[in-house]
Each structure stands twice: as C-alpha cells, then as structure tokens.
Amino acid sequence: MSRLAAPGELGIVDVGTLHTEAGARIPGAQIAYRRWGELHGLESGRTNIILVEHSLTSGPEADEWWPGIIGPGRALDTDRFCVVCTNSIGGFHGSTGPSSPHPEDGRAWGSRFPGISIRDQVTAELAFLDALGIPAVHAVVGGSMGGARALEWAAMAPDRLNAAGVIAVSARASAWQIGIQAAQIDAIEGDPHWHGGDYYDTGHSPREGLATARRIAHLTYRGELELDERFGVEAQTGENPLGPYRDPQQRFAVESYLDYQARKLTARFDAGSYVTLTDALNRHDIGRGRGGLNRALSSIHVPMFIAGVDTDILYPYHQQEHLSRNVGNLLGMAKISSPVGHDAFLAEHRQMDHVLRRFIHLAEESVHGNAASHFG
C-alpha cells in the first residue's frame, strides 16, 4: 500500500474511474483526505481506522469542524485510532468535483460533472480504501450529509466496517428537505453567472446565487430559539429597518448575520460543488432498489448508533427515531438537547463528546462480543 499522508496533512489519492449509480463516468477521480493517529491492523484485515464523514460544505479538516473531538485521549482517540476524513467526490476540498480540471482537456468539469448520489460518494470512498490497500475500517461516523454516507456505508459495504455512527440524518430525503434544497439549487442555477454550470472560465461566478442559497440553508441549520436569543428584532448597528420607507440597505441584525454567513461561504466554496452535493442530498434514499425503506434498513446488520437533535427542523428527531426502529442492529441512540437546531451536532461539543465516546465504546463492545461468540 501507499503511505498515508503525514498526520494532519492533506493527501490526495488517485482512485481511477468512478461509475455512478445513474450510469455516468468520472475518469481520473481523486479523493483528498487528512488523517490523525497511526494506522494499525492492516495485516489482520481489520484496521483501527475511524472514517469521519463531513457535511455539505465542510471538508477533511475534521479537527477544525469537530474541535476537541479528535486527538490523544479525545472521544475519537488518536492514541488508539487512526482517524481519517475524506473529502466527498464532487466536493471542493481537494477531491474531484465540478471545478476540477477534466482529464481530457484540463478545463473545469463544469456541467460535464455528473449528478451523484450518496451511494456514489461511498463508492468513491471504497475506491479510496482500495487504492490505499486498506481492506476495512473500524467505524464510519458522520452527521448530516456525513450521516447519510455512514448509513449507506453500512448498507453497501457491511464487511468493511464494524460499526456506523449516523447523526442528524434520515433514511431518505423528505419532501420538505427536497423542497428547501431545490430552492437553494434554483437560486444558484438562476444566477446569470451560472452559465449552465460552465462559468469557470468566464471570469465570473454565481456568487449572488450561492449567497442566497446559503442564507436559506443557514436558517435550516440553526434553530429559531438560538437565532432569536442572539438577534431577536434588533436592528443592525447604524441601520433602521423600521423607517418610513422600505430600504434594503436598512437591515435587522439577523439579516446582517445571514449576509455575513453568505459572504463567508462564497469566499471559500464553489457554487458547482454546492449544487452537486445538494443534489446528492436530494437523491438520498436508502430504500432505492432495495425493496423499499424499511426492508432496506432491516437488512442492515452492521451495528449502528443513531443520534439526533431535538430542535432540528431539517432532519427532525422523529426521522432518527424511524431509523432506530428499523435498522437491523441498533447499538444505541442519543438525543442532543439544544436550542441550536441541526448544527448542534457540530456546536454542542460537550454533548457530542459524550455521544461519540458512547458510540465508540458500544462499537468496541460489539466487536468483542462478536469475537467471543465466534471464537470463545
């Protein structure tokens, strides 16, 4: 096998040609990743890898978006585990996506980049492990889009992981999610700078559309309780949204905050990747081609830990309860209690530390239990 990138450094792995679920090809695909902790167990066919799956616009910098979770003695303990975080195919943190050079002409893939599903993201990760000569991982864990990938991992490659941690996600996209996510895609595709996805050499980008998408998305990530505690009906400093005539320059504080979030995203993320990954979320359906939702879930025998957030409006907690009732081998379940909403799986560090320690503990118990029954 090739050597892993140095701890914390960005590595890039060639994974060859990917074939998507819908029948397209991605030749010359690359997957970017970072890792923390040393890899063990290759010889036994089982490794100590914990594969961490990022959400929509984040990347392999799991130490940044899950601060305090990864490290020596932490919930994801790098004294014992090799924590690996790959960037999704289609993403914008080093893996091949719409903004990457196409192998044939070196110009951006743009509209030539196919529509991908959550399953295609997992296919790419399995190819990534193959390329590195890694037969299996210990666990796969993630929240939101990362949770969807962890769930598909358990369905697609049950022999290649011991346990899955599925956080703040559902068995499939809901109509509401598709609706609000389609509104975000529409905002980008309706931007005159979008050019059907082929804007990369025009000197412009659909920044305004992406900003609009982010403003809407952020309101699905953040609970209304938390937003209201912070901003209420306050005016932005120096502005007056209560004037005699409406003026878009006179904003409430929450509008300014959402504008700031939008600017932050447009400065660091690509609109093409945003559309591709949001479309992948819309395609999320664990039951597709597997006899329906609950049959598919009940056939998943990988030990699974499920967590959700009580105030999540994007992936409401009843969706995690549905998962927990139907998966074939439930390790345990946790409810994160927070005013923050969906993003609590990133923001509530104390609770997430607890949830992830419990997941890792139950996953190991499950492995040892199985070992005992097999060999004891």
Clarify whether 99 is annotated catalytic: no
Q: Applying CB under 8 A, does 302 fall inside the site for its own copies? A: no
When binding is defined by CB under 8 A, the residue of 9, 79, 104, 224 that contacts its own copies is 224
Q: Applying CB under 8 A, does 252 fall inside the site for its own copies? A: yes
Clarify whether 312 is annotated catalytic: yes
Q: Is 135 helix (H, G, I), strand (E, B) or coil?
A: coil
When binding is defined by CB under 8 A, the residue of 285, 333, 334, 351 that contacts its own copies is 285
C-alpha angle 190-285-25 in degrees, rounded to nearest 5: 65
When binding is defined by CB under 8 A, the residue of 86, 276, 320, 338 that contacts its own copies is 276
Distance CA 336, CA 317 (A): 9
Facing residues of 336 across strands? 309
When binding is defined by CB under 8 A, the residue of 174, 294, 298, 326 that contacts its own copies is 174
Candidate list 312, 322, 324, 338, residue with the active-site label: 312
Q: Which stretch binds its own copies (CB under 8 A): 2-10, 33-41, 216-224, 299-307?
A: 216-224
Distance CA 116, CA 97 (A): 10
- Determine the residue type at 95: S
When binding is defined by CB under 8 A, the residue of 68, 176, 292, 299 that contacts its own copies is 176
Clarify whether 102 is annotated catalytic: no
**Residue 198 marked in a binding site:** no
C-beta closer to its own copies: residue 167 or 217: 217
Q: Is 53 helix (H, G, I), strand (E, B) or coil?
A: strand
Helix boundaries (H) for the chain: 62-65, 118-132, 145-156, 175-189, 207-221, 224-231, 253-268, 271-282, 293-298, 317-326, 344-347, 349-375
Distance CA 102, CA 115 (A): 16
Q: Which stretch binds its own copies (CB under 8 A): 51-59, 168-176, 263-271, 348-356?
A: 168-176
Distance CA 139, CA 69 (A): 15
Residues near its own copies (CB under 8 A) are 20, 22-24, 111, 114-115, 117, 172-180, 182-183, 185-187, 189-190, 197, 208, 212, 215-216, 218-219, 222, 224, 227-228, 230-233, 241-246, 248, 251-255, 258, 275-276, 279, 282-283, 285, 288, 313, 316
The residues assigned a catalytic role are: 144, 312, 342
